[in-house]
């Protein structure tokens, strides 16, 4: 590229950055090192970190520094860096999951630098160990979702389509209330995989009064709730239960706070059909 072209490209980039960040309210700007190699890395890092009118990330291939500009009332540095880490890129605060790094194209596989947990994260963990109220919140980020899920399950056990529909709306509200910045890295990774299916199946259950359609949507809903339970510290025992007959003999699973089988797929028709597959503590 000729010098004049480089200057023009730089000016255009500056104008684009200025315009995009001007749309962000309560603007706060910070810089932090994010590891990567090339222009493809730049595109991926910036796409992962950006949120329309909320966060803007500009990463330098030369310096490996990322400039984060964000609405401080809606998000924070940690939330942005977690998204970037889940895309496969380490920063000085968060390491990318090994599986995310492994999926990067060969040209993007930067040399990984082993880092200790940041001081800020250490303080967070210490506060969890010394404060019971904080422990309950931090160790079970999805508690409200689980509570609403069990109400949907109980309504299906009673074969009450109207109540099931109502409780599904409450579940959807709980799903929408989750703040990603409060999640730990492992929780965040699972959450991003199950978020859309959870929303879709909660809406399906709400929008129909056909109990069989509700029950079919509940199968996928239960599978995704199970995935959340497995990465969330439980404050009470949960039972992962299975009905072998439902769905034309393919079977279906659900979760319960009771060890006694109360089948949400058949209700009073076959209330005790099923068994506990796993006890989650």
| Beta pairing partners, 66 | 32, 59
**Do residues 146 and 255 both lie within one domain?**
yes
**Do residues 153 and 105 both lie within one domain?**
no
**Do residues 9 and 48 both lie within one domain?**
yes
Which residue, 115, 150, 178, sits at the end of a domain? 115
| 153 Cβ neighbours under 8 A, 6+ residues apart | 218, 222, 254, 255, 256, 264
Tell me: pLDDT of 11 over 80: no
**Do residues 157 and 108 both lie within one domain?**
no
The whole-model pTM stands at 0.56
In this predicted model, what pLDDT tens digit does every residue of 37-76 receive, in sequence order?
A: 999 999 999 999 999 888 999 999 999 999 999 998 888 9
pLDDT bucket at 125, cuts 50 / 70 / 90: very low
Identify the three-state secondary structure at position 274: coil
Burial of 44 (C-beta count, 10 Å sphere; 0-12/13-18/19+)? buried
pLDDT bucket at 130, cuts 50 / 70 / 90: very low
**Do residues 44 and 153 both lie within one domain?**
no
In the chain, the number of structural domains is 2
Query: What pLDDT does 136 receive?
Result: 35
Tell me: pLDDT of 137 over 70: no
**Do residues 76 and 208 both lie within one domain?**
no
Indicate which CATH number applies to the domain containing 107.
Answer: 3.30.70.100
Is 121 domain-assigned?
no
For residue 59, give the H/E element and its range: strand 55-59
**Do residues 64 and 190 both lie within one domain?**
no
Is 123 domain-assigned?
no
Report which DSSP code applies to 242: E
Question: Following DSSP, what letter does each residue of 171-208 receive, concatenated?
Answer: HHHHHHT--GGGS-HHHHHHHHHHHHHHHHHHHHHHH-
Is 156 domain-assigned?
yes
pLDDT, averaged across the chain: 84
Query: What domain range is 24 assigned to?
Result: 3-115
Tell me which residue of 150, 147, 138, 221 sits closest to 179, measured CA to CA: 138
Is 232 domain-assigned?
yes
Is 120 domain-assigned?
no
In this predicted model, what pLDDT tens digit does every residue of 146-194 receive, in sequence order?
A: 999 999 999 999 999 999 999 999 999 999 999 887 788 888 889 999 9
Query: What pLDDT does 271 receive?
Result: 97
**Do residues 162 and 276 both lie within one domain?**
yes
In this predicted model, what pLDDT tens digit does every residue of 84-99 receive, in sequence order?
A: 999 999 998 888 898 9
Is 165 domain-assigned?
yes
Is 128 domain-assigned?
no
- The contacts found for 119-124 with CB under 8 angstroms, 24 or more apart, are 120/93, 121/93
Indicate which CATH number applies to the domain containing 233.
Answer: 1.20.120
**Do residues 101 and 147 both lie within one domain?**
no
- The contacts found for 77-82 with CB under 8 angstroms, 24 or more apart, are 77/30, 77/32, 78/181, 79/180, 79/181, 80/49, 80/55, 81/32, 81/34, 81/49, 82/180, 82/181, 82/183, 82/185, 82/188
In this predicted model, what pLDDT tens digit does every residue of 213-252 receive, in sequence order?
A: 999 999 999 999 999 999 987 778 999 999 999 999 999 9
**Do residues 43 and 154 both lie within one domain?**
no
Is 130 domain-assigned?
no
Which residue, 83, 115, 147, sits at the end of a domain? 115
**Do residues 63 and 107 both lie within one domain?**
yes
């Amino acid at each position: 590229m000729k010098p004049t072209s480089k200057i023009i490209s730089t000016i255009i980039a500056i104008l684009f950055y200025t315009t995009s960040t001007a749309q962000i309210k309560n603007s706060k700007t910070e810089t932090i090192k994010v590891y990567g190699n090339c222009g493809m890395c730049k595109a991926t890092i910036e796409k992962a970190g950006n949120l329309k009118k909320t966060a803007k990330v500009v990463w330098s291939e030369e310096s490996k520094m990322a400039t984060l500009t964000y609405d401080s009332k809606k998000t924070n540095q940690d939330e942005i860096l977690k998204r970037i880490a889940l895309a496969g890129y380490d920063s000085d605060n968060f390491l990318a999951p090994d599986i995310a790094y492994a999926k990067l194209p060969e040209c993007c596989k930067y040399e990984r630098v082993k880092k200790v947990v940041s001081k800020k994260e250490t303080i967070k963990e210490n506060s969890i160990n010394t404060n019971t109220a904080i422990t309950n919140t931090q160790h079970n980020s999805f508690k409200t979702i689980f509570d609403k899920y069990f109400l949907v399950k109980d309504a299906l056990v009673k074969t009450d389509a109207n109540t099931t529909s109502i409780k599904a709306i409450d579940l959807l509200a709980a799903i929408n209330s989750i703040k990603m910045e409060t999640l730990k890295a492992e929780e965040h990774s699972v959450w991003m995989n199950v978020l859309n299916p959870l929303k879709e199946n909660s809406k399906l259950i709400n929008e129909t009064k056909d109990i069989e359609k509700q029950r079919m949507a509940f199968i996928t809903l239960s599978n995704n709730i199970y995935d959340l339970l497995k990465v969330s510290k439980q404050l009470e025992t949960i039972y992962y239960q299975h009905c072998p007959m439902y769905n034309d003999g393919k079977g279906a699973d659900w979760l319960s706070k009771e060890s006694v089988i109360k089948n949400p797929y058949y209700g009073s028709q076959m209330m005790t059909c099923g068994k506990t597959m796993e006890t989650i503590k």
